[in-house]
Chain A
């Protein structure tokens, strides 16, 4: 569901095996039934799976509500046996509410809180190569753990126009400059790198591009159009910085010789067209092919030698729930201060952000921010720096994070906020 389609989308029961277990049949006018509150404060026993429970409810065509800023951003779902069973199996705390809801709604009305209807489960696409990379992908893990279905797509699907079939697109560790995360020289000889190079080169050739950087630029432009036409984009780690570099470099070579056979343009910095980018402006390219860093957009420069900055903690902004529901949804959490974590792109320097970008989280006193959001055309994009919220220094080859050991992860909650917020019914914003 695109943003333009929000208004008036109600009901529409989704078919599926899970629905078959529901004790009632869906109809255009569902009967009034009691509700279950899914608290999202410290009382919750599995914060991450709570998103999956809510997703399943709306996927089945049931009506749910997101109670912004109420007990950590709780959810309200129908009190049905199937949902109770699902909650019990997954260790999710739910609280039956009936007459108490009147009091809750009164509190919401009187405070910086709001109740946002959630109506249709977004169709989720994850942009990832078909093979397994030697690093984990936080969003894929979060979706799998929460039980939210998604489809993996890659360059061929993007280039043949399949993006229009999805409401929400996620990018993670991808390098849209086409330089294989600049691991080409550092990790030369490693089998996973050889496979990555081969796969990308073959795909570029098959799709009619001379080089991998050319292909990735075209993919970046397709994603840009997708957002402009109403799609929701969420990017983490390298994807945030490199997609903007690829967009800004539509007419200039910013790829090292190893990637496209030609040296990068010595005047690349001056030729970058930042008007094409989502979030950033004025960045300077990292020209050393041996340094796995792309530009000075990233504040932490984890592979930048002496430029590397230590990790701190980032703080979520507190928005007005009734006036700014979208940023409010994106920062719902039971923690306001969250330990930082590295990625090839960890953070975003403030002086590289375009005017108008909404800062959702920052490290106080630091020159960088962590989590940003903005609109483009009819769609929106959200960028979250860092690789894995529960593995602050994820190394190549490290085992994937086991989220069952981190069911309360506040960092992963931010990812899942992004998955659910496209499900919210659009209302006229007051700003």
Chain B
């Protein structure tokens, strides 16, 4: 024994009883450094002077287990328990020692004796079962918990322990049933239950959900099912589990619905949005005043994102008279339904509660919808005197479609790179790049062609773009316009693929300094890959990479090349 240990032991013996209980620090340190024999010596010395010192007994439990000397611990624990028979810690320790010594009969006898002395307590059965479970004696552990449940009565007794046990052995449906019992008895357990069940492997999901929603399942169990199903990305099934628990709504319903709404917010699918909207609408009805109004507006947006216009309209029409948010949402819906005149009428009504910000957003949406119909003057009128960058950007598009290229360019410049969302900013930037190549201030043909494209008539747009391109100089925008025509044709597919190929070929063969030739070659290769002609795409991609090594399209060309060669998986 080293000098430091002798010193530590000397200190322990010299200190009074209270201090001795805290003086096992050297034992911990020895244990941490892996010197288990020395650590056990420290703990043994402590126990000799203080037989009920629980930290020292626990230290022995750890170290003697590693040293395979657990039998030495048993008499010490029995002695301590005899001195303090009411101590749950000592009782638990005694059970664990018997389990470690693989003496299940003695273990059961001790547990039953403890239970007899504490007839209302779950602790004896819990510790009995856990001691067995730690030894991976699953069946015996289950039996211990069930003995406790029978003895104490109550369907949810020891349900948490049984749920965790079943989970450890992979019986996920049995685990779900027990978690259902646990939350029915103790609502605070629900987040833990949901977190545990969320880990169930995919093949077990149906069985877990069925266990929680079986006929006779409690409201809390069904709500647990809804939460777990949301975690698994199954919003429709989740709502089917939740909705029946709301009629009639109990006092926990608002909290449960709010949690449902929050969890559904993580889903980005259409069904996810729709179900979140349905839940928000129900929650809004339970909330007073402005809270309910805001929630309702959010519900409508979610229902629209989820493609359920009918449900969105029902929510709005029930509350649109006095609520500005609901009025704005209803006008959005009318615009989406292409009922532009009614939307314009409602938007122009003098006595509305719609805020200025919402009004500006609606005007913009209305202008876009008018453009979609080719009504450029009415689109411009819808924007009124709005001087926001978003409105300026929209005016740029209107000018472009009128063929006023210079005005369009100025408007796009004025709007800057941050107006509206990223996709809109990217579209504007791409169009500015095209306009920069064109030296002319006006091109009604190009404007009309782009408007045709914006209105969704692809085939007519391709022809119109080709006509417009023919009137532009070769290095003054013609290639860029032909590229757009080729991209539209390639996207259209079918018969248009030949047109696309011809257009890309023309741009690549012409070449030059602009971005159009490498872009066209990349698009051409993509088209070939998409149509199952990967081998034909490879020379195009190699030509692009080697001919335009500094082009921004090279990294993407390399990715497509890898795919064409089968070197990376499809994503």
Q: Which residues of A contact B (CB under 8 A)?
A: 85, 88-91, 136, 141, 144-145, 147, 185-190, 288, 290-291, 305-306, 396-397, 399-404
Residue of A nearest to B171 (CB): A290
Contact with A along B412-423 (1 / 0, CB 8 A): 000000000000
Q: Is the pair B168, A189 in contact by a Cβ cutoff of 8 Å?
A: no
Q: Is the CB of A144 within 8 A of B567?
A: yes
Assembly CA distance A403 to B566 (angstroms): 12
Taking the closest CB of chain B, its distance from the CB of A269, in whole angstroms, is 14
Report B146-204 residues with CB < 8 Å from chain A CB. Answer: 167-171, 201-204
Q: Which of B202, B561, B571 contacts A89 (CB 8 A)?
A: B561
Kindly count the residue-residue contacts between A and B in the assembled complex, taking CB atoms under 8 Å apart. 58
Residues of A close to B568: CB separation below 8 A: 141, 144-145, 402-404
State whether A288 touches B169 (Cβ < 8 A).
yes
Check if A399 sits within 8 Å of B567, measured CB to CB.
Answer: no
C-alpha gap A194/B80 in the complex (Å): 56
- Give the residues in chain B near A147, CB-CB below 8 Å: 565, 567
Rounded to whole angstroms, the CA-CA distance of A144 and B562 in the bound complex is: 9
**Which B residues lie within 8 Å of A141 (CB)?**
568-569
- Contacts A90-B558, A402-B569; is A290 near B546 (CB within 8 Å)? no
Q: Is the CB of B203 within 8 A of A89?
A: no
Which residue of B202, B555, B562 is within 8 Å of A145 (Cβ)?
Answer: B562
Asked if B201 and A187 make an inter-chain contact with CB atoms under 8 angstroms apart, the answer reads yes
Q: Range of interface residues on chain B?
A: 20 to 34
Besides A88-B545, A145-B567, A186-B203, 5 more A-B contacts (Cβ < 8 Å) are: A291-B170, A305-B167, A399-B571, A402-B569, A404-B558
Cα distance A186–B555 when bound, in Å?
A: 42
Residues of chain B from 542 to 568 with CB closer than 8 A to chain A in the complex: 542, 545-546, 549, 554-555, 558-559, 561-562, 565-568
Rank and list the top 7 A-B pairs by shortest CB-CB distance, nearest first.
A290-B170, A400-B569, A305-B168, A144-B567, A404-B568, A404-B559, A402-B571
A416 to B: closest C-beta gap in Å: 14
Question: Residues of A contacting B545 with CB < 8 Å?
Answer: 88-89
Which chain B residue shows the least CB distance to A306?
Answer: B168
- A399: chain B residues at CB < 8 Å are 569, 571
**B136 sits at the interface (CB 8 A):** yes
For B565, the chain A residues whose CB sits under 8 A away are 147
Please indicate the chain B residues that have their CB under 8 angstroms from the CB of A188 in the complex: 203
Q: Judging by beta carbons under 8 Å apart, are B546 and A89 in contact?
A: yes
Q: How far is the CA of A85 from the CA of B549 in the complex (A)?
A: 11
Task: Report if A404-B546 is in contact (Cβ < 8 Å); known contacts: A144-B567, A186-B201, A190-B203.
Answer: no
Residues from chain B with a CB closer than 8 A to the CB of A305 are: 167-168
Alpha-carbon separation in the docked complex, A90 to B558 (Å): 7
- With both beta carbons as reference points, the residue of chain A lying nearest to B559 in the complex is identified as A404
Q: Are B546 and A85 in contact (CB under 8 A)?
A: yes
A288 to B554, CA, bound (A): 53
Smallest Cβ-Cβ distance to A307: which chain B residue: B168
Q: Would you give the shortest CB distance from A263 to chain B, in whole angstroms?
A: 15
Give the chain A neighbours of B546 by CB distance below 8 A: 85, 88-89
**Assembled-state Cα–Cα distance A291/B568 (Å):** 33
A144 to B549, CA, bound (A): 24
Chain A contacts for B168, CB-based, 8 A? 305-306
CA distance A136 to B571 in the complex (A): 13
A384 to B94 CA separation, bound complex (whole angstroms):
42
Closest to B133 in A: A306
Given A186-B203, A290-B170, A305-B168: A91 touches B558 (CB 8 Å cut-off):
yes
Say whether A88 contacts B201, CB under 8 Å: no
Check B170–A186 contact: CB distance below 8 A: yes
State A404–B565 Cα separation when bound (angstroms).
13
- Distance of A416 Cα from B571 Cα, bound (Å): 23
Partner of A404, one of B138, B167, B202, B562: B562
